[in-house]
């Protein structure tokens, strides 16, 4: 889930919001201000209902964040690196960099989330009782009671034994502990996740269809998300077990065909690279042999034919900062999560119609990994303009390897995946 707005770091964990979190805030605020509060405590001003409802929605978000932070903190204590937390439409997501090392660690990381929500529910219940004893406004007590109830509901729902919910992780930890086979455990938890997802979709639609109750759409949406996430989790687990510790260099194409950044698209096309070479993306090199970006067939095609003689490769390439990179010795297992994140971001933005060649790159939100790759930012477009005279260095195979900057190109061959996201660099060490 992309981060739209960063909230900085809390307890050392990067926290952000996705724009879709506004959907929960709006739904909760409207439900409380429009029906819940006025029907329970009529006679107050509309402004008061709305202000209190908005405040309750924000405190609810904060309690979601506490749930995710608990996962993140316990994950770190158990040796699992945390990339960050993002709150979005269906709640929060703590992105863990790797899997829990043992069933015990998995259990602790998963269990602390629902326990935190349960604790929050208890604290709000206590506050509500205290306010009631102090004869506080019934409306305020109502809001605090709602916060208590929603946190208990959150704890119970998340504890359902179905992936990707926390209860699904608990189930997986249990199966893993019992069988010693993490893959089998993942399959079990994923099957439970799909079953729960379908149950929610069917009952949600049944409520809409037979009960004429539109609120059934919400569980149906969550069910739909569960089916997708559980399926993805199982698929990734299968992939992981197949890939094992295969290093990136075993699956990359070594010595890929490269393109000089100052060549024009006409030069590039004159070499006829598409026929003899099976790649649809080509690393772009600067004059000193360092990598500047990736030229994709899609971007060349999107440039009008009459402009190709005057457009340089640098102008249309995807800059290095937008491309996923990896080191040859790095295990494929480490590369996969980054690739999945990039593909997800790409699908997400292409559904918003942002994938045309002239618009920003679909994966612009995916950071280039810093640890094994080249510098995050290559030179900005235009800074090499003075070099355009020495343009037509021919396409060359092997140039990259000689300079030691790029040793290969990895590509996936899933036809559903857009070319631009399907290929990425493997710079040398």
Q: Which residues bind Zn ion (CB under 5 A)?
A: 113, 166
- What's the min distance (Å) between Cβ of 171 and Zn ion? 14
Three-class DSSP category at 415: coil
Question: With respect to Zn ion, which residue has the nearer C-beta, 115 or 191?
Answer: 115
Question: With respect to Zn ion, which residue has the nearer C-beta, 65 or 327?
Answer: 65
- Residue ranges with strand state E in 386-427: 396-397, 406-411, 423-427
Question: With respect to Zn ion, which residue has the nearer C-beta, 16 or 408?
Answer: 16
Question: With respect to Zn ion, which residue has the nearer C-beta, 113 or 374?
Answer: 113
Three-class DSSP category at 180: coil
State yes or no: is 301 an active-site residue. Answer: no
Please list, in sequence order, all residues whose beta carbon lies within 8 angstroms of the beta carbon of residue 260, skipping any fewer than 6 positions away.
284, 285, 286, 287, 313, 391, 392, 393
From the list 68, 322, 330, 423, the catalytic residue is: 68
- What's the min distance (Å) between Cβ of 330 and Zn ion? 29
For 275, counting Cβ atoms within 10 Å of its Cβ (0-12 exposed, 13-18 middle, 19+ buried), the class is: exposed
- What's the min distance (Å) between Cβ of 159 and Zn ion? 9
Q: HEC string of 150-166?
A: HHHHHHHHHCCCCCCCH
- What's the min distance (Å) between Cβ of 104 and Zn ion? 18
Are 309 and 423 in contact by the 8 Å Cβ rule? The answer is: no
- CA atoms of 215 and 200, how far apart (whole Å): 12
- What's the min distance (Å) between Cβ of 71 and Zn ion? 5
Closest CA to 298 of 352, 349, 357, 258: 357
- What's the min distance (Å) between Cβ of 326 and Zn ion? 30
- CA atoms of 250 and 239, how far apart (whole Å): 15
Length of the chain: 429
For 395, which DSSP code?
P
In angstroms, the Cα distances linking 351 to 345, 356, 421 are 10, 11, 15
Question: With respect to Zn ion, which residue has the nearer C-beta, 186 or 361?
Answer: 186
- CA atoms of 56 and 146, how far apart (whole Å): 8
Question: With respect to Zn ion, which residue has the nearer C-beta, 113 or 247?
Answer: 113
Q: Supply the residues annotated as catalytic.
A: 68
């Amino acid at each position: 889930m992309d981060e739209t707005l960063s909230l900085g770091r809390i307890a050392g964990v990067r926290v952000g919001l996705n724009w879709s979190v506004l959907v929960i805030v709006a739904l909760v605020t409207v439900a409380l201000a429009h029906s819940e509060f006025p029907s329970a405590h009529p006679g107050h001003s509309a402004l008061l209902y709305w202000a209190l409802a908005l405040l309750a929605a924000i405190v609810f978000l904060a309690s979601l964040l506490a749930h995710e932070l608990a996962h993140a903190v316990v994950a770190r204590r158990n040796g699992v690196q945390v990339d960050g937390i993002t709150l979005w439409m269906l709640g929060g997501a703590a992105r863990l960099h790797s899997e829990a090392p043992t069933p015990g660690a998995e259990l602790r990381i998963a269990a602390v989330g629902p326990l935190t929500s349960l604790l929050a529910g208890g604290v709000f219940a206590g506050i509500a009782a205290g306010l009631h004893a102090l004869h506080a406004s019934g409306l305020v007590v109502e809001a605090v009671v709602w916060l208590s109830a929603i946190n208990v509901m959150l704890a119970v729902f998340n504890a359902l034994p179905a992936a990707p919910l926390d209860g699904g992780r608990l189930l997986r930890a249990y199966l893993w502990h019992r069988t010693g086979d993490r893959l089998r455990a993942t399959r079990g938890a994923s099957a439970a996740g799909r079953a729960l997802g379908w149950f929610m979709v069917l009952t949600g639609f049944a409520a809409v269809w037979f009960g004429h109750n539109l609120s059934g759409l919400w569980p149906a949406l969550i069910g739909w998300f569960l089916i997708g996430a559980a399926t993805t989790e199982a698929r990734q687990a299968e992939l992981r077990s197949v890939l094992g510790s295969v290093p990136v260099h075993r699956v990359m194409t070594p010595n890929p065909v490269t393109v000089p950044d100052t060549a024009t698209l006409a030069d590039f096309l004159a070499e006829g690279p598409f026929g003899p070479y099976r790649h649809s993306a080509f690393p772009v090199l600067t004059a000193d042999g360092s990598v500047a970006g990736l030229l994709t067939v899609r971007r060349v095609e999107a440039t009008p034919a009459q402009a190709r003689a005057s457009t340089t490769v640098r102008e249309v390439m995807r800059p290095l900062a937008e491309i996923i990179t990896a080191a040859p010795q790095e295990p494929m297992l480490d590369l996969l999560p980054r690739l999945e994140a990039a593909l997800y971001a790409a699908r997400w933005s292409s559904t918003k119609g942002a994938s045309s060649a002239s618009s920003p790159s679909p994966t612009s939100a995916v950071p280039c990994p810093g640890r094994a790759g080249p510098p995050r930012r290559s030179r900005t477009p235009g800074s090499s303009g003075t070099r355009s005279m020495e343009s037509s260095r021919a396409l060359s195979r092997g140039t990259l390897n000689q300079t030691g900057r790029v040793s290969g190109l990895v590509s996936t061959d899933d036809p559903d995946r857009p070319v631009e996201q399907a290929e990425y660099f493997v710079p040398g060490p």
